[in-house]
Amino acid sequence: MGKPTGFMEYKREVPADREPLERVNDWNEFHLHMPDEELRTQGARCMDCGVPFCHSGVLISGMASGCPINNLIPEWNDLVYRGLWHQALDRLLRTNNFPEFTGRVCPAPCEGSCTLASIDPAVTIKNIEVSIVERGFEEGWIVPATPRVRTGKKVAVVGSGPAGLSAAAQLNKGGHSVTVFERADLPGGLMMYGIPNMKLDKRHVLLRRIKLMEAEGITFVCNADIGGPDFPTTKLRSDFDAVVVTTGATLPRDLPIDGRALKGIHFAMEFLTANTKALLNGSDDFISAKGKDVIIIGGGDTGTDCVGTSLRHGCSSVTQLEIMPRSPEGRAADNPWPEWPKTHKVDYGQEEASARFGSDPRVYLTTATRFEGDENGALKAVHTVEVAWQKNDTGQFVPQPVPGTEQTRPAQLVLLAMGFLGPEQPLIDSFGLEQDQRSNIKAEFDVYSTSIPGVFAAGDCRRGQSLVVWAFNEGRGAARECDRYLMGSSELP
């Protein structure tokens, strides 16, 4: 695919980002766009590799290798190289309902398993993907597509995050009347309030797609607390022919150490959600980091988003504590291609913090042991200690404190970004759904049917905390199985 010798002739290039010290002054997206000719050159690097691993979508060593929604990557790379943008969009939309989202926030496991990546930097798949779909919007090729025939069946989708949106889109294509219920004031779930605006623009990108889905016949009902007194699950099941539960894994992991009740300690999602709401509403009702020493406990994308948001508030300092060691610069011997490369990466937040304060904010192999407050019950410091990972009596590696490494760090704001434990319990109890050993809704992968006939589950509430692209995979799969339940068979992919 692409130019047969392109991978030997051209080097990997990605679009430049806006300068860190410039972009921290606003909430606009920080990525710039590449000219068409440069994108075509990057498409030319896609090899005729015989067996393309980029769209395999399998788990190796517990991590995604290749695209979980099986994007036809070599095909649309070739079409971009040839300047056939409309055809490239058609191929992209065969497998991906929302490439404008994955092209911005997906960590691109496709690039980690790119055949070229075994010897050279990978093809710039993610950037080409988002460029195709944005070209489609600019040219007017993406328009509402309503189904030719309605089945008369009604489906409720509970949750409007990535799994819920993809399930709704596919069920609507199948001709069913779909209503999406969202407990927040705007649809989008994690993509609306869990991902900051500088990574995913809410009005121009996310709400643009929501309006398109509404024009296609999908109904969104917000401020709907399913299982509560106004929206009992019994009424939901009686009013609809099927229900798809896609509520995500939103129960945050806590850090119950001494001083946890002090003022100034928040879960990361509280911080990020309030910030985006204030940004959209033009209000000042948010948790501000301005003028504060901020400590973020936990790495990953959420921790990075807290770094970037704190900088835009005007924090005095920002430190990110990571209990794990720093990843190596290159693949370790036990992390071969085509596994996801567990290598050291500098994301946008760390780049911005380095530009603002002169160093990467991450401190590795370190954990908090106690929060210290002032006489008014407000946080003033975090006590930390370095750790070493050692085997315990059962042979498991656990972090052990290293004596003599104790430190007291000033802090007036702590953000807990340590991941999520699973779905919230009240909705599950209201439905009476069975759960697995990890507290997720029990529903077999590729089947998605729960313990209650006609009720399906998909996304993080079924599989646990995962990638946005896995949620898209599961939403599409649950839609297919729901369609099969309603109609006896399904032609949905």
Give me the domains of the chain, ranges plus CATH numbers: 6-139 (1.10.1060.10), 154-250+421-487 (3.50.50.60), 254-418 (3.50.50.60)
Does the structure show a pLDDT above 70 at 452?
yes
CA gap 249, 10 in Å, rounded: 42
Q: What is the pLDDT of residues 323-378, one digit of tens each?
A: 999 999 999 999 999 999 999 999 999 999 999 999 999 999 999 999 999 999 99
The 10 Å Cβ neighbour count of residue 359 is: 9
Quote the mean pLDDT of the chain: 96
Coil, helix or strand for 396? coil
Tokens of 475: 């939403």
Helices within 15-108 (DSSP H only)? 20-23, 36-44, 73-81, 85-95, 99-105
Does the structure show a pLDDT above 70 at 213?
yes
Q: Is the peptide bond before 229 cis (omega within 30 degrees of 0)?
A: no
Q: What is the pLDDT of residues 139-157, one digit of tens each?
A: 999 999 999 999 999 999 9
**Average confidence (pLDDT) over 70-85:** 96
CA gap 92, 28 in Å, rounded: 26
**Average confidence (pLDDT) over 2-12:** 91
- In one-letter notation, the amino acid at residue 145 is A
User: What is the reported pLDDT for 1?
Assistant: 63
β-partners of residue 178 are 155
From residue 320, alpha-carbon distances to 323, 414, 417 in Å are 10, 10, 10
Task: Using pLDDT thresholds of 50, 70 and 90, give the confidence band for residue 399.
Answer: very high
**Average confidence (pLDDT) over 153-180:** 98
Nearest to 292 by CA among 379, 370, 356, 359: 379
Tokens of 394: 């059962």
**Average confidence (pLDDT) over 256-274:** 98
β-partners of residue 422 are 251
Of residues 280 and 49, more confidence is placed in 280
User: What is the reported pLDDT for 386?
Assistant: 98
Coil, helix or strand for 429? helix
Coil, helix or strand for 404? coil
Q: What distance, in Å, lies between the first and last C-alpha atoms of the chain?
A: 24
Q: What are phi and psi of 451, to 5 degrees?
A: -70, -10
**Average confidence (pLDDT) over 162-189:** 98
From residue 177, alpha-carbon distances to 33, 227, 249, 384 in Å are 37, 21, 26, 54
- CA Rg value for the chain: 23
Task: Using pLDDT thresholds of 50, 70 and 90, give the confidence band for residue 3.
Answer: confident
Q: Is 60 buried (19+), middle (13-18) or exposed (0-12) by CB count in 10 A?
A: middle
**Average confidence (pLDDT) over 297-325:** 97
**Average confidence (pLDDT) over 207-216:** 98
